[in-house]
Amino acid sequence: MRHEIYDVVILGGGPAGLSAAINATIRNKKVVVVEQEPSMTSLKKAPKIDNYLGLPGSSGQDMLASFNEHARSMDVEIVARRVEAIGEFDGYYNILLGENMIQSLSLIIATGVPYKATLPREDDYVGKGLGYCATCDGPIYRGKDILIVAHGPEAEYEANFMAEICRQVYYLPLYKNIGELDERVELLPRTRPQAVMGKDMVEGLELANGQAIQVEGIFILGAETAPDRLVPGLLIEDNHIKVNRQMETNLPGVYAAGDCTGAPYQVAKAVGEGLVAGLAASKYSSRKK
């Protein structure tokens, strides 16, 4: 990836993110789309779309391929990484991608339907032993036992990283075809996580197969992202990012588009909001320069 300060960084390569990207590119902005895994885009799962104007009967997969082709034909840079965390410093957004960091004047969040906690009292344990980015919190768990609930193979990198510093890393895969795990990582049988153990702080995790694993840290990785965990201070209303008609959030230079801003969860809405966000973020980054 290029080493420069971007005008617009877009999180998510679904219809909203790609629409934002082509429109900011047309405005001559330096743009990058960061997409963790194109197969996680909702559109790819849609068997047949009949309500997108002018393209009746398209499969979601074909539509997504043609959206991507359009973006690539305009030289939009697309990086295959998951955004782990974002911070703001001195008017720039710093976006953590694994071990790399990129900077941008503005951000567009287009990460799809937001993550909803699935474990009982999950939200109560956040910051008290439960987290969503192992590499970010790694040093806190040096020499301790942790458990990773892995929704997808991208969690393997974080498990191997944690194996370097933790006493014991347990890996609970919720997917098939496990890749290469460090030999120090203990692979658990594929079963659902049931409940966090511990009164105030995490003390372990109960599994649906009756096992109870004692640990001080639990990381839930590879699930959909809760946007306010990615961008601290982001205002959420009814589980969606609060935006105005310019797709502005409550944070300066941060815009949102698509399913993450609320229903209806539809391609046409995502594409339209992506357009507005792309134009608004372009205007913002021009003003900042």
Ligand X SMILES: Cc1cc2nc3c(=O)[nH]c(=O)nc-3n(C[C@H](O)[C@H](O)[C@H](O)COP(=O)(O)OP(=O)(O)OC[C@H]3O[C@@H](n4cnc5c(N)ncnc54)[C@H](O)[C@@H]3O)c2cc1C
Interface residues with ligand X (CB under 6 A) are 11-17, 34-37, 40-43, 45-46, 49, 51-52, 60, 82-83, 110-112, 225, 258-259, 265-268, 270
DSSP 240-260: EE---TT-B-SSTTEEE-GGG
Q: Are 243 and 255 in contact (CB under 8 A)?
A: yes
Q: CA geometry: angle at 201 spanning 197 and 203, to 5°?
A: 40
Q: How far is the CB of 206 from ligand X (least distance, A)?
A: 27
Task: Compute CA 17 distance to the chain's CA centroid, rounded to the nearest angstrom.
Answer: 12
Residue closer to ligand X, measured from CB, 15 or 253: 15
> Could you tell me which residues come within 8 angstroms of residue 78 by beta carbon, excluding any fewer than 6 positions away?
13, 32, 33, 34, 35, 68, 71, 72
Q: How far is the CB of 58 from ligand X (least distance, A)?
A: 9
Q: How far is the CB of 98 from ligand X (least distance, A)?
A: 11
Reported as type and span, the H/E element at residue 103 is strand 100-109
Instruction: Classify the C-alpha dihedral 130-132-136-139 as positive or negative.
Output: positive
Residue closer to ligand X, measured from CB, 17 or 138: 17
Q: How far is the CB of 23 from ligand X (least distance, A)?
A: 14
Q: How far is the CB of 177 from ligand X (least distance, A)?
A: 18
Residue closer to ligand X, measured from CB, 114 or 204: 114
> Could you tell me which residues come within 8 angstroms of residue 142 by beta carbon, excluding any fewer than 6 positions away?
165, 166
Q: Token pair for residue 260?
A: 């993450």
Query: How far is it, in rounded angstroms, from Cα 37 to Cα 14?
Result: 10
- Residue owning tokens 């909803």: 116
Residue closer to ligand X, measured from CB, 68 or 282: 68
Residue closer to ligand X, measured from CB, 96 or 215: 96
Q: Token pair for residue 2?
A: 């290029």
Task: Compute CA 162 distance to the chain's CA centroid, rounded to the nearest angstrom.
Answer: 20
Q: How far is the CB of 55 from ligand X (least distance, A)?
A: 11
Residue closer to ligand X, measured from CB, 27 or 240: 240
Residue closer to ligand X, measured from CB, 41 or 285: 41
Residue closer to ligand X, measured from CB, 205 or 256: 256
Label the pairing between strands 130-131 and 100-109.
unpaired
Q: How far is the CB of 180 from ligand X (least distance, A)?
A: 22
Say how many residues make up the chain.
Answer: 289
Q: How far is the CB of 201 from ligand X (least distance, A)?
A: 26
DSSP three-state, residue 77:
strand
